């Protein structure tokens, strides 16, 4: 799914939407969209963003919002829309998740429904619908109810049967509650796991209980680079471990334990802001986010090679002084990384990858760690090590 950003209100309005490509002509973008769709991809238009204020303050504004969005969808041939309303675009003053009292929220719910009806009538198929809210507007409803806190929940609830992907931005966020009552900080494996499970399991708010979505409606949304967001960038290893745990394919990477044993094998995928940032070599390596996605979800989809993952044999374990690891089938140097229970890299070192690798643990605090060895042949081996 490729999302183009952003459709924004024309100058002097908060409802008359326009989309002006920044780097190419409209005709070139239309041709690009057609080419992508021929490859089986969905292309959607995102509404809003951090710098746009979208408000529907009357029924007439609602109707013009619908008309202008349909014109953009038809002109460019988009498969759907992404709702990325931020800042003052969404707020609540009362009511409940099931029965919001704020008229702009009621009109936005009506408007999206109208767009979906018009799209189906014209094209004979469902409009592809995604949402990319910030955490305060969703999981933040556990902390407070009002203003931006929980403000997206009525919109998500009303359109839950139509949402294809909910991809809450797990960045530009303060700490958030998990459904276990713990508080988790962005940029960690625990944050990724706890906040993703929250929108699947559901949670209590001052506006009532938010019923979670199906796992196949949920994607993990993260920045591809530290420069892409004000906070919340997470290194590739931590991202992979967190998502594999969510899928039920890997060990628990931090202190947060999934409420559902076995995880969520049908989790929809991953989203990043943005493909442009992911291309930058300075951002944890060029295409590092795409690389993680391919390894976790679909290793055969592109030319990115799948690195073999094997379990290491570590002795003694638990350990208090040093550990010995047998490295079979690899030669040449190894890159070795240690990650703590919070998903943080605490040590990186190199070692000649032959025979038995001896590693000291005397400088590590008591706790559980994941050790990962990456060889020059692309093989990756991993083990959980307990330090006493």
Q: What are the residue numbers of the active site?
A: 86
Q: If we measure between CA atoms, which residue out of 126, 122, 6 comes closest to residue 74?
A: 122
Q: If we measure between CA atoms, which residue out of 104, 86, 87 comes closest to residue 95?
A: 104
Token code pair at residue 61: 């504004």
Helix (H/G/I), strand (E/B), else coil: 108? helix
Note whether 205 and 152 are within 8 A (CB): no
Q: What DSSP string runs through 167-199?
A: --B-SS---EE-TTS-EE-TTSHHHHHHHHHHH
Note whether 184 and 175 are within 8 A (CB): yes
Give the DSSP H or E segment for 116: helix 103-123
Torsion angle of alpha carbons 103, 109, 113, 115, nearest 10°?
80
- The β-bridge partners of 381 are 310, 373
Pairing of strands 219-223, 355-360: unpaired
Look at the block and give the residue holding tokens 């910030």: 134
Pairing of strands 219-223, 165-166: unpaired
From its phi and psi, is residue 378 left (phi > 0), alpha (psi between -120 and 50) or beta? left
Q: What DSSP string runs through 285-336?
A: STTHHHHHHHHHT-TTSSSPPPPPEEEPPEESSSBSSEEEEEE-S--SEEEE
| Phi, psi of 187, rounded to the nearest 5 degrees | 85, 5
Helix (H/G/I), strand (E/B), else coil: 129? strand
Give the DSSP H or E segment for 346: strand 345-352
CA atoms within 13 A on the CB side of 23: 4
């Amino acid at each position: 799914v490729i999302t183009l950003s952003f459709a924004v209100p024309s100058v002097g309005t908060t409802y008359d939407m326009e989309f002006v490509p920044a780097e190419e002509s409209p005709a070139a973008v239309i041709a690009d969209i057609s080419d992508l769709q021929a490859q089986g991809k969905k292309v959607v238009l995102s509404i809003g963003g951090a710098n746009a204020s979208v408000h529907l303050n009357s029924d007439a504004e609602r109707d013009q919002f619908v008309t202008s969005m349909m014109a953009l969808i038809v002109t460019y041939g988009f498969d759907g829309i992404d709702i990325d309303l931020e800042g003052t675009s969404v707020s609540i003053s009362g009511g409940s998740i099931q029965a919001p009292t704020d008229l702009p929220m009621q009109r936005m719910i009506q408007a999206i429904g109208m767009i979906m009806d018009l799209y189906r009538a014209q094209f004979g198929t469902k409009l592809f619908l995604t949402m990319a809210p910030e955490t305060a507007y969703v999981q933040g409803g556990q902390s407070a109810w009002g203003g931006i806190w929980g403000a997206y929940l009525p919109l998500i609830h009303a359109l839950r049967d139509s949402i294809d992907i909910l991809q809450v931005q797990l960045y530009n966020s303060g700490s958030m509650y998990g459904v276990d009552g713990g508080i988790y900080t962005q940029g960690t494996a625990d944050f990724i796991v706890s906040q993703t499970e929250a929108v699947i399991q559901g949670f209590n708010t001052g506006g009532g209980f938010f019923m979670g979505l199906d796992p196949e409606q949920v994607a993990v949304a993260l920045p591809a680079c530290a420069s892409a967001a004000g906070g919340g960038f997470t290194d590739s290893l931590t991202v992979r471990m967190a998502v594999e745990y969510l899928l039920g394919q890997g060990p628990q990477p931090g202190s947060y334990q999934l409420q559902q044993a076995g995880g969520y094998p049908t989790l929809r995928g991953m989203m990043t802001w943005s493909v442009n940032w992911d291309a930058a070599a300075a951002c944890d390596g060029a295409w590092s986010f795409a690389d993680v996605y391919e390894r976790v979800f679909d290793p055969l989809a592109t030319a990115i090679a799948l690195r073999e993952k094997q379990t290491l044999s570590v002795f003694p374990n638990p350990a208090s002084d040093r550990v010995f690891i047998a490295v079979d089938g690899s030669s040449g140097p190894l890159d070795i990384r240690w990650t703590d229970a919070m998903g943080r890299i605490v040590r990186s070192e190199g070692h000649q990858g032959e025979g038995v690798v001896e590693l000291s643990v005397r400088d590590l605090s008591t706790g559980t760690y994941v050790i990962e060895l990456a060889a020059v042949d692309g093989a990756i081996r991993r083990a959980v090590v307990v330090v006493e």
